[in-house]
Amino acid sequence: ELKVEQNPLFLSMQEGKNYTIYCDYSTTSDRLYWYRQDPGKSLESLFVLLSNGAVKQEGRLMASLDTKARLSTLHITAAVHDLSATYFCAGASGTASKLTFGTGTRLQVTL
């Protein structure tokens, strides 16, 4: 059974700094998703990573996938306040229809 762990669970960072959120998973997962959730809102898809070595970037966020290490990272470059939200990673194996989410990383960007 796939287990997904994120760390840190909470991250307070200053504007302009860089940081990385880590997503480890327990068994083979060749699909890895990142979602963003603003307080009191729904989830919004950020990235889907489908193969080993995949890297996707949008604005100040960059996600990567290393299937051999069973690790995905979400890197934040020069954080701004608008990036404050909770970020979730989620994995699934092959053609499996079940999606397993991590517990989320609450990111707070301060001035």
Q: Which of 16, 20, 26, 44 binds other proteins (CB under 8 A)?
A: 44
Asked if 52 and 66 count as a contact pair (C-beta separation under 8 A), the reply is yes
Q: Which of 14, 26, 27, 41 binds other proteins (CB under 8 A)?
A: 41
Cβ distance to other proteins smaller for residue 97 or 111: 97
In the beta sheet, which residues pair with residue 11? 107
x/- letters, 73..102, toward other proteins (CB under 8 A): ---------------x-x-x--x-xxxxxx
Stretch that binds other proteins, among 13-21, 41-49, 53-61, 70-78 (CB under 8 A): 41-49
- Please count the CA atoms within 13 angstroms of the CA of 100 that sit on its side-chain side: 19
State phi, psi for 83 to the nearest 5 degrees. -85, -5
The answer to the question of residue 58 lying near other proteins (CB under 8 A) is no
Instruction: Give the closest residue to 108 by CA, choosing from 79, 77, 78, 84.
Output: 84
In the beta sheet, which residues pair with residue 92? 31
Site residues (CB under 8 A) for other proteins? 31, 33, 35, 41-45, 48, 50, 88, 90, 92, 95, 97-104
